[in-house]
Amino acid sequence: MDKYILPDIDQLKLIDPTSVLEKAMERVKQDRASFRVQHIPIEEMFTSAELMDLRQCFESVSIGEAFVNLEALKMVFNQMGYNPSEERLLQLLETCGKKDDEDIISFELFARTLALTFEEEAEKVSTSSQNDNARDY
């Protein structure tokens, strides 16, 4: 055998390449959303009127001056029409930078968690409308 000619190698194929790409894109979207929600100032995520409304909601259930606990946070989310499970809420908080040893949630962490929730909801709407459009053709 000529030493410069490589032997044939069996061809590899993905069984479901579309699914592999979709999962990879979903991970990238989640990573980008996590990065944005942790690093972009909240003043750039919300308008001043939205921040004022969020502050009022937050202060309506706050403990002392500037914090809420998980139960109060669930109440605020419910008042806003979101009903995440406690497990999901803890995941959102962790994604937004909450440390395990923190029992209290600041306004900034609350706002970031809400921004992530809004982004996820918008993505769901966008994805479902794309799927609806794809079925129309």
Pairing of strands 105-106, 67-68: antiparallel
The reply to whether 7 falls in a domain is: no
**92 found inside a domain:** yes
pTM value surpassing 0.75 = no
Q: Check pLDDT > 60 for residue 1.
A: no
Look over the chain and give the mean of its residue pLDDT values, rounded to a whole number. Answer: 83
Question: Is 17 inside any structural domain?
Answer: no
Residues in contact with 29: Cβ distance below 8 Å, sequence separation at least 6, in sequence order: 123
Largest distance between two CA atoms of the chain: 82
Q: Which CATH number belongs to the domain containing residue 73 in this structure?
A: 1.10.238.10
Q: Residue 129 falls within a domain, yes or no?
A: no
Range of the domain at 88: 39-122
Q: Is residue 105 part of a domain?
A: yes
The pLDDT score that the predictor gives to residue 134 is: 53
Q: At 44, list the tokens.
A: 């750039």
Domain-located, residue 116: yes
Above 60 in pLDDT, residue 67?
yes
The answer to whether residue 25 is domain-embedded is: no
Count of domains observed in the chain: 1
* pLDDT above 90: residue 43: yes
Amino acid 137: pLDDT: 43
Question: Could you tell me which residues are beta bridge partners of residue 105?
Answer: 68
* Tens digit of each residue's pLDDT (9 = 90 or more) over 14-40: 889 899 999 999 899 888 888 888 899
Helix (H) or strand (E) holding 67, with range, is strand 67-68
